[in-house]
Amino acid sequence: MDMGLKDKSVIVTGGGSNIGRAIVLGFAAENARITIGDIDPEQAGKVAAEAEKRGASAVQVVKTDVTDKAQVDALFASAVDRFGGVDVLVNNVGWDQLMFFTQTTPELWQKIIQVNYVGVLNCTRAALDVMVPSKGGAIVSISSDASRQGEAREAVYGGVKAAINSFMKSIAKENGRYGVRCNVVCPGVTVPESTDEVGKTSMWANSDSMFTEEQFEKIAKSLPLRKLGRPSDIAGAVVFLASPVAGHITGQVLSVSGGYSMIG
């Protein structure tokens, strides 16, 4: 099915690893023109090369720390200069460190807030500065089912992701009149297929620090679909929501988690 994304200008933040990598490759298969904003340009470069093989019309990598507004502005300027605009933004960058709230520190809170929320604010503002005058665009933000269910060892992260859900609904209401659609995808536990799919800055660089193999097995058995999520599962939903095929969908929060949460 043609998703109507050929030659569209797409920015994917954190496109070098895991879910972000799969999202980039998903847009590549639709012949989009892709700008990867990533703090690890070496890893992002590997993904860019693979995206070109998968059919991307063009790909560029811009080293970007999404917590730095100046770097975000430079990312969008690069996309506009090379591809003439920005049709799609995927706010994918995310980071967490699993521990009980009583074990965390204010310094950790601030890092989680900066990376997961302030980064979304910076990128969304930059996207709207381009999309509103152009009278169109799609923004998809990656949240988490921890934002909908609550999850032990993810109190701060889950709270920040819940803020993203609400923020994106507000942005959808404010900017729908300009043809800008905003939606959210909430993954559950989503595990890369191999270490080649993650960079050194990824929180999955050492998967043992996230979950043990026994925990992975228990998680899979607890889900209605009886399997863990993979990055490609999330990418399919993102590409759909970003595409003209989903042209009458905005302000929605979609769980892609094997049935972990079922919220009407």
Would you name the residues annotated as active-site residues?
Answer: 157
The residue type at 72: V
**Please, what's the b/e burial string for 126-159 (b: 16 or more CB within 10 A of its CB; e: otherwise)?**
bbbebbbeeeebbbbbbbbbbbbbebebbbbbbb
- Structure tokens that stand for 187 in this block: 């993954």
Q: What share of the chain is helix, strand, coil (3-state, %, to 5)?
A: 50, 15, 35
Instruction: Decide if 223 contacts 260 (C-beta within 8 A).
Output: yes
- Measured between alpha carbons, how far is 232 from 20 in angstroms, rounded to an integer? 10
Cα 104 versus chain centre, distance: 25
Instruction: Decide if 117 contacts 63 (C-beta within 8 A).
Output: no
- Measured between alpha carbons, how far is 220 from 229 in angstroms, rounded to an integer? 9
- Measured between alpha carbons, how far is 52 from 221 in angstroms, rounded to an integer? 37
